[in-house]
Structure 1
C-alpha cells in the first residue's frame, strides 16, 4: 500500500479538506491530466493505485485503456500498449531501463508505492525521448516541494497466499520537509519501500505434438509426446528507495539532486515430473477427439520418466543519480538535467535431475487440466531411479546510461505561435551480457538414486491444482534443493570434478550506443478559433559499436568481431485539439516514431557447427548488427467529453503502420571456405495495427443517501493487427496482442469508506509459433483470461486507515493451446491472495 494513501492526513488543514474528505480528488487529478495535455494521454495517480492491491507498476498499468499484460507468478508482466511491447519508459522524464537482452524497463521492478503518478502517452511529441513505437510511460515520483509542510508517513501490509500457504509483508515510509533559510528555500524527501510476497504457481503441460502412424491404423494421429507437471514456489522481494533534495535560492531558480534505487529479486524452487509418450501402448486404450486426428486419451507402456528439481533465482537491480536546474525569467525558461543509470540483471539455475521408467502411464486430454496417472511402478522407490545430471546455468546482463539534456521555452506575444521550445539530448548507453550465457550442466551416468538417497525426497506439494477434476501424477520423488544454491558443493556431492564454468567467450557481446537528438517544437495559438496544439520535428543521430566473437571450425579458435554504424532519423509530430464547447474536445495526432532493436539481436557473435558426415548439414546461428530500427507512422483521432470533475466519456481511433519487425531467417553463408545454413534475425516484416478505445467514468451522485457513493470506471479496447509470419506462411496478429480487452472497476467513496472491485479481461492472443517434425508450423494461443481484484478501506481516525484486499479472487486458470482445444499446451494456476493493511501518520 502506498504511503500516498495517508499523505492527506499530514497536510495542513487547508489542503486536508480536499484530499481526506474529497476522496475523489485522485480521479479528478487523472482526468485533469488527460484533459489538459495536448497529446492523447491516460493517467493513474497514486491514491487510485493503492486503492487496489497492485504490487508493482506493471499491475497498475493493466487498468490503463489500451494496455494489456500477461501474468507471471501471479503478478503483471509483459506489457503492451495497443499491441506493441516497444514502450519507452521514463522516470521523472529520464530514460530508465532494466539490463538484459532487451532495452525496456521491467515494470515489475518498481514498487507501486514509489510512484505518485503514471502517464501513458499514446501519441508522440518532438520534445519526448524517442524509442517507443507503442507509446511512452512516464513514472513520476514524489517531490518534497509537492508538500506544503513536514510529512512523516508509514504503511504496512500482511499478505497471505492460499496455494503457497505462506505469509508475506510489505512496508513503506515517506518523510519530507521544507525549510526557509537565508539562501532561499530547501526541501528534502526520502521514500522507502520493501515487499516480500510468497507465491506458488502450478503448471501442467502437454508435450509437443508428434505425428504418429502406429496408434490408429491408416491414420496419422497428432499425439502430445508426454506430460509435464511443475510446482514452483518461492518469494518475490522488491526494494525501492528515493531521495530528493530541492533548493530554490530565488523564485526564478530551482536546483535539485535525486537518487533512485530499485531491486526486484525472485527466489524460486521448482519440482517437475516429465513422463514421455512411449513407443508402445495398451491395445484399445487410444481414442481421438471426435472429428479430428488429435489424440484424446491413451495408456502408454514402459514410459520414460524424469524428475527435474531446480532453484531458479533472478535479480534486477538499478540505480539512478541525477542533478539538474530550472530557471525562468519573463518569457524565457531553461532546464538542464544530467543523469547516470546503472542496471544489473542475473539469472541463476541449479539442481539435480533423475530418471526412470513407468510400467503404465495413462493420459486424458479432455479434462480442464490434462490428466495423467501411473500404475505398476512406485514413483517413490529410490531403486526405480538413477541420477542423470546436475544442472548449472547462469546468465548475467549489465547496462549503464549517461545522459545530459538541455531544454528552452520562449513565449511569444502574438501570432499563431504562442510558444517555441527547443532542446538537445546526448545519451551514452553501454550494454553487455557479462560473461555470456553459462551452460554448465554436468551429466551423470549409471548412478543409482539408492546409492545417494540423501539428495531426494517425496514431492512436498501433492495438492497439485487443488479443486480441479481429473487425475494428476502424485507421490513421486524429487531432488532435494538444500545444496542447489551452492553449485560447487552440489557438484562435489555427486563426484563431479569439472569446476563450475565462469565464462562463455563465444556467447559474449558488448554494445556501445551514442545518440544525439535535437528538437524544435511550436505551440499553436489559433486566435479566435477554439483550436490549439503543437507541431515539431525531432532529429536523431545514433552511433552503434558492437563487439563479440566468431567461431572458426578449422582451428577451433574464437576470432573477435567488431562492427560500427550510424543511423539518422527525422521524427515529425503534430497534435491538434479543437474545443467544440467547454469540456468537449476533438483531437488529431500524427507522428513518426522508432524503436531500436534489442541488444541480443544486434550481437555479432557467430556460432558455427560443422557436420563431419554431411557438410550440407553445416549449421550456424548469430545475431545481426546490421538490423535497422523499427519505425512506425501513426495517426490518431479522439473525441473526449468531460461532463464533470470525475465524469468523462471518450473514444479514440488509431492506425499504425510499422516497418522493420524482426523475423528469424535461415540462409547459406560461407565461412572459413565452407557453407553453413546460418540463422539470423532480419528486418523486413511489416505490420498494420488499427483499432479504437472507448472509456467512461462517473460517480452516481444523483442516487439517494449512501447509494450516492457508487461509481464506475469502464474501458474497452479493440485492436486489429496483421503481420506476415515466415513460420506459418500467412498473416497473423501481433504476438501477445488480444483483439478485445476491457476493464470494469466498481467504485465506492462515501464518508469514511472507500472500496474498489476491478475486473480485467482480455481475449485470446497469439503467444508464439513453433514448428514440429511431421506436424509442421503451429500457432500457440493463450485462451481468454479474466482477473478479479478488490479492496475495502475504512478511515478509522483522522490519522489511521485500515484496509482489506484480495487478489485473483476468481482463482483464474490460464490456458494455452496449439491453435485448438483438442491440442492443449499448458494450464497455470496462481495464488488467491488476501491482505490486511494499515496506514498512519506519525
Structure 2
C-alpha cells in the first residue's frame, strides 16, 4: 500500500468552491491495479487546510476562510469568521458582527463581491452588511489585501470575495440538513420579542450527464433574537454654577431593546461543461432580511441651568459630588421623563444573478463573458410613541438622585413609571405652533441596482517570463435612490389620554439603571387604531426634503495584465503586472431648500466625469520549499460615500443681515453634499514573508504602507446665491459660506501583521489532536485636512487587533475557543432620525466557544452522517460602549447584549 500526504496545492484544488469540506484526496495510481489509500481531511482541519492552500497558491497577498462542512462556516456568521483573519475586524450591531474593516480602514474603504461580482448594499452607502448573507450558503471567502488588474472591485482597504459552491468541482453527490436552536441568556426584556430562535438549512449538490452538468441548491432560514440593556447619555456640558465648572450629565435615555432578525436565503448554481472547451455557470443568490426591534425606556432631560435675578448662575442640581472634573453624583429636581414605546422594522430584499460563459478557442486562447445583475430594496419604518406625567410641560416633575457608573448612571426617584398616560410631558412642539408632538415617524426607502458586463480574453504564451496575457473591459451601471419621509404624531384628543386596555402589555423593567417597571403597550397597534393625527414633517421643515436623493454611476474599465512565471536561480517566481484605466461618469438628483420666509423647494442636479489610471504589480518568490516572499505595489481607489455625493443642499437666508458687506456676516449660508466629489486615491506597498510548516501550520509576517493622495473632508467653500430671488430689501452680498464635502489633503496609513498557526503534532505526538492560531495587527495613520491642521482619527481604525483560537479535533470530537480583541476606534452608529453618527468605541474582547461530535467516528452505523454541536457566543458578556470628545469619561452609549447559546445537529444523507 502506498502512503500519501496531500500537498497544499491538491488540497486547494479539492476545496475550490466546496461548501462541504468533506475533502477526500487520493494519489494518482501509478498503475491501473495499484491500491490507493484515501486520506480524508474534514472538519476544522479541512477548513484550515483549504484556506491555507488558497493563501499559499495566490500571487497576491490574501487571506481566506473555508467551510468545515456543507452549510457550516467555522463561526456563526461570515462577519465573525472574517474578523478572525489577520488585519481584519468587525463592528457589532445588536450584538452581532455586522460590517468589516480591513487594515484599519472603515467599511467605506472596503468592497465586497459575490463570485467575483460587485454587490449592492442595503444601507445608504457602499459598505456591505455581511449579516445579510447567510453563512450556510457561502462555501468560502477570499480577502484580497493587494489587488491585481483583473480585480474589478478594487478598494484601498481590500476586497472580500464571497464564493458559493461549484458543483462540478465538488465532484460528488451531497444532501445535508442543518438545524440549531438559539437562546439569549438575558430574560425576555420586551414582551413582544422572544429571546429564543432557530437556524436551519438544506443543501443539495449533484452531477448529471456523465459529470458535465452540476447542480447545487441551498435554502436557509433563521430567526435570531437579541436582547439589549442600553444607556444613552445626551452629553456633558459644564456645570457653570459649580466651582471649577465640572462636566455634568445633561440628559439620559435608558432603554431595553429586543430585536428579532428573520432571514431566508436561497442559493442555486447550474454548471455545464459539455466538453473541454465550453464552460457555463449560472448562479442565483437571494435573501429576505427582516430586522425588527422593540425599544422601551425613558428619555429624561436632567441638567438645567439659568441666571437668577441677581445675575448668578444656578441650576436644578443639588448635593453634587465632584471627582476628577466631573459630577459623579447628586440630585436633579423638576425632572419629567418622556416614556418611550418605540418600534422599528427594517425589511430588505437582495437578489444577485450571474452568468459566466467561457470558450477555449484554441490551446492558447480563451474568451469569456460575464453578465450580472443585483438589486437591493430596503424599507425602514421607525415609530416613536410618547407617554408620561401630564402633557406639554404642565407637570412640575420629580426629584431624581443619580450616581455615575461604568455603564452610565444609576437613578432613584419616587416617580411610578407605570402610572403614566399617553402624551408628551415636555413642551416639544410641532413647528409653526401646531401644538404638542406626541410621537414621530421616520420612513426610509432605499433602492440599489447594479448591472455589469465583462468581456475578457486570455492568451497563453507558454514560454518566457510572461506566461499569459489577459485583457478585457468591464462595464457597470449603478443607481441608488433614497426616499425619506417623516411625520409628527399628535393625539387627536389633544390631552393626556389613558392607553386603551387592548393595547396594554406586561410592563418592562428598567431595574438595570435603578428604575422599576414602566408603562408598556403595543405602539404599532395603537398607531393603527387611528388615535393620532399625522402631520407630514416636510410641510413644517422643508429641509427634510434634502434627505431624499439619487446617485448614479457608469463605470468603464479596460484592463490588461501579464501573468509572470520564471526562476531566479533555483527559486520559482510568479506574479502579475497590469493596468486598469477607470472611466467614471457620476451624477446625482436631489432637492435644494431655502430657509427663509418662503421655504422654497427646488430640484437640483449635478455630476462629473473623470479618468483614473491604476497600475499594479504582484510578485511571489519561493525562497525555499514552502517559503514565500511576496511584494505588492498598486495604485487604488475607493469611491466616496453616496450620502456625500448627493446633489441635495440646504440654504439659509438671514434677512436681518441684508446690508452686511463682510462675508463672515453674509445673510447667505448653506450645507449639503457634493455631486462632483472624486474618490479617495492611494498608492499602497505591501511586503510579506510566509513559511508553511504543514498543511495547517504556518508563520507569516507582513508590513504595509498606504500613501493617501487625498481624503474627503467637510469644508467651507464660498457659494454663489445670486440665483435665489429675495423679497423686500435686496442683499448687498450674493455670496456666502457653504459647508460641503470636498477632496482635501491626504496622509498615510502603515501597519504590520504577524500570524502563527500551529498543529500540535509539530511539537509532540501527544498533541496531535490540538491546534492553535494567533495573529496580531498594528495600524497607525496620519491624515490632515491641510498642512496646518491636526491629524484626524480615521473611522474604523483600531491601533491594535488580536485574534487567538485553540482547538482540538480527534476521534470525532471537536472543540474550539476563540477570542478577538480590538482597541478603541471611531465607529459609525445610528443617530437622530436614523442619520449617521460617528463616535469613539471602547476597546472590546469577544470570546466564543464550541464543542461538537461527529457520530461517523462512533462506529454506530445507524448514526453515520449525524453530527451535533453546542456553541456559546460572547461568553464574557462584553458590552458595546462609546464615548465622545475623545474623553473616555464621557460615556455616550452602553449596551449589554448577554450571551447567546446554540445547540444544533447536522445530518448528511
State TM-score, norm by structure 1. 0.90
1:55-114 Cα distance to aligned partner (Å, 9 max, x none): 432222111110111111111023110111211211111111214421232212101111
Which deviates further from its counterpart, 811-820 or 114-123? 811-820
Deviations 1:117-171 (A, max 9, x none): 1100100101101441111111110122132232211111110111254211111
CA offset at residue 441 of structure 1?
2.1
Specify the alignment match of 2:807 in structure 1. 747
- Describe the SS at the equivalent of 2:247: strand
**Per-residue deviation, 1:654:** 0.3
1:645 and 2:679 matched: no
Aligned to 1:312: 344
**1:625-636 correspondence runs (5 A):** 625-636=675-686
8 Å contact kept, 2:387–2:421 = no
Whether the aligned pair in 2 keeps the contact of 1:298 and 1:362 (CA below 8 Å) is yes
RMSD: 3.1
Alignment partner, residue 775 of structure 2: 715
Q: 1:362 aligns with which of 397, 401, 418?
A: 401
Q: For residues 633 and 246 of structure 1, what CA distance do their matches in structure 2 show?
A: 39
Question: Take 1:341 and 1:6, find their aligned partners in 2: how far apart are those partners?
Answer: 26
Look up the match of 1:8: 22
Given that residues 782 and 791 in structure 2 are in contact (C-alpha distance below 8 angstroms), is that contact kept between their aligned partners in structure 1?
A: yes
Q: Secondary structure, in 3 states, of the residue corresponding to 2:517? A: coil
Alpha-carbon distance in structure 2 between the residues aligned to 1:347 and 1:25: 41
Cα 1:770–1:323, aligned 2, differ >3 Å: closer, same or farther? closer
Aligned mate of 2:201, from 150, 169, 172? 172
Q: CA deviation at 1:178?
A: 1.2
Deviations 1:477-504 (A, max 9, x none): 34532426xx5x25x213x164798997
**Partners of 1:576 and 1:322 in 2: how far apart?**
31
Task: Give per-residue Cα distances to partners, 1:594-651, cap 9 Å, x unaligned.
Answer: 0111222111122224345556565433210111111111001101111111110000
Does 1:213 find its partner at 2:240? yes
- 712-721 vs 507-516, which deviates more? 507-516
Change (3 A) 1:383 1:483: closer
Within a 5 Å distance, the mapping from 1:135-154 to structure 2 comes to 135-154=158-177
User: How far did residue 18 of structure 1 move?
Assistant: 4.0
Q: Secondary structure at the match of 1:701?
A: helix
Aligned to 1:810: 876
Structure 1 residues 817-826 or 711-720, which shifts more?
817-826
Within 5 Å, give how 1:369-388 maps onto structure 2: 369-382=407-420, 386=424, 388=437
Asked if structure 2 preserves the Cα contact closer than 8 Å seen for 1:5 and 1:839, the reply is no
Residue 235 of structure 1: which of 251, 257, 260 is its match? 260
Q: Unaligned 5+ residue runs, structure 2? A: 1-16, 29-35, 189-194, 305-313, 390-395, 426-436, 659-665, 726-733, 832-836, 857-863
- 1:540-619 equivalences under 5 Å are 540-551=582-593, 556-613=599-656, 616=666, 619=669
On the 8 A contact 1:21/1:751 being kept in 2, the answer is no
Structure 2 CA distance for partners of 1:786 and 1:665, relative to 1, 3 Å: same
Residues 676, 457 of structure 1: alpha-carbon distance in 2 compared, 3 angstrom cutoff: farther
Matched residues in 2 for 1:445 and 1:665: separation? Answer: 45
C-alpha separation in 1, matches of 2:747 and 2:293: 37
In structure 2, the residue matched to 1:418 is 467
Is contact 2:549-2:648 (8 Å) kept? Answer: yes
Q: Is the 8 A contact 1:515 1:542 kept in 2?
A: yes
* Cα distance change, pair 603–277 in 1 and its aligned pair in 2 (3 A): same
Deviation at 1:412, TM superposition (A): 1.5
Alpha-carbon distance in 1 for matches of 2:458, 2:19 = 35
**Aligned equivalent of 1:247:** 272
Residue 405 to residue 9, structure 1, CA distance change in 2 (3 Å) = closer
1:214-613 equivalences in 2 (<5 Å): 214=241, 216-217=242-243, 219-279=244-304, 285-290=319-324, 292=325, 294-328=326-360, 329-356=362-389, 358-365=397-404, 367-382=405-420, 386=424, 388-433=437-482, 436-444=483-491, 447-452=494-499, 454=501, 460-462=507-509, 464-465=511-512, 471-483=513-525, 489=528, 492-494=530-532, 496=533, 498=535, 506-529=546-569, 530=571, 531-551=573-593, 556-613=599-656
| Aligned-residue offset at 1:677 | 4.3
Structure 1 CA distance, aligned partners of 2:315 and 2:672? 42
Distance 1:43 1:213, change over 3 A: same
8 Å contact kept, 2:593–2:651:
yes
Q: 1:482 to 1:769 in 2, by over 3 A?
A: closer
Per-residue displacement from partner, 1:494-545 (whole Å, max 9, x unpaired)? 3x16479899754432222111111111122334542222111111111112
The aligned counterpart of 1:664 is 714
- Tell me what 1:794 maps to: 853
Give the counterpart of 2:182 among 159, 172, 175: 159
Match of 1:835 in 2: 902
Which whole-Å deviations, capped at 9, do the CAs of 1:699-750 have from their partners, x for residues lacking one? 1115667642111011000001122369x95213312211001100001111
The range that moved more, 790-799 or 647-656, is 790-799
Q: Residue 738 of structure 1 aligns with which residue?
A: 798
After superposition, what is the alpha-carbon deviation per residue over 1:417-447, rounded to whole angstroms, capped at 9, x for unaligned?
Answer: 11111111111111111xx211212245984
- Structure 1's 321 and 52: CA in aligned 2 closer, same or farther, altered over 3 A? closer
Aligned pair in 2 of structure 1 residues 446, 431: CA closer, same or farther (>3 Å)? same
CA distance in structure 2 between the partners assigned to 1:446 and 1:723 by the alignment? 55
Paired residue secondary structure (2:337): strand
CA distance in 2, matches of 1:373, 1:456: 28
1:193 aligns with 2:226: no
- SS of the aligned residue for 2:476 comes to strand
Worse-matched range after superposition: 276-285 or 265-274 = 276-285
Q: Deviations over 1:319-372 (max 9, x none)?
A: 11222212223122222111111111221101311244642112222x222233
Determine which structure has greater relative contact order: mean sequence separation of CA pairs < 8 Å that are 6+ residues apart, divided by chain length: 1
Retained in 2: the 8 A contact 1:164–1:198? no
| Alignment CA distance shift 1:452-1:175 (3 Å) | closer
Q: Secondary structure at the match of 1:145?
A: helix
Q: Deviations over 1:253-303 (max 9, x none)?
A: 11222211122220111112121224376775111123x2x2211211112
Q: In 2, Cα distance between the equivalents of 1:189 and 1:97?
A: 23
Residue of structure 2 in register with 1:774 after alignment:
none
> Quick check: 1:194–1:238 contact (8 Å CA) kept in 2?
yes
2:101 aligns to what? 80
| CA distance, structure 1, for counterparts of residue 417 and residue 656 of structure 2 | 41
Offset at residue 823 of structure 1 (A):
2.2
Q: Secondary structure at the match of 2:22?
A: helix
Q: Secondary structure at the residue paired with 1:345?
A: strand
2:817 is aligned to 757
1:302/1:360 contact within 8 Å kept: yes
2:859 corresponds to: none
Counterpart residue number, 1:57: 78
CA contact (8 A) 2:20 2:70 kept: no
CA 829–767 in structure 1, closer or farther in 2 if over 3 Å, else same:
same
Distance 1:271 1:712 in 2: 43
Structure 1 pair 118/601, CA: closer, same or farther in 2 (3 Å)?
same
CA contact (8 A) 1:647 1:697 kept: yes
Q: What secondary structure is seen at the aligned counterpart in 2 of 1:32?
A: helix
Deviation at 1:473, TM superposition (A): 2.2
TM-score by length of 2: 0.84
- The DSSP-based 3-state class of the residue aligned with 1:330 is coil
SS at match of 1:599: coil
Q: Displacement, 1:808?
A: 0.6
Deviates more, 1:811-820 or 1:637-646: 811-820
Number of corresponding residues: 814
- C-alpha distance in 1 between matches for 2:344 and 2:26: 49
Partners of 2:40 and 2:386 in 1: CA distance = 57
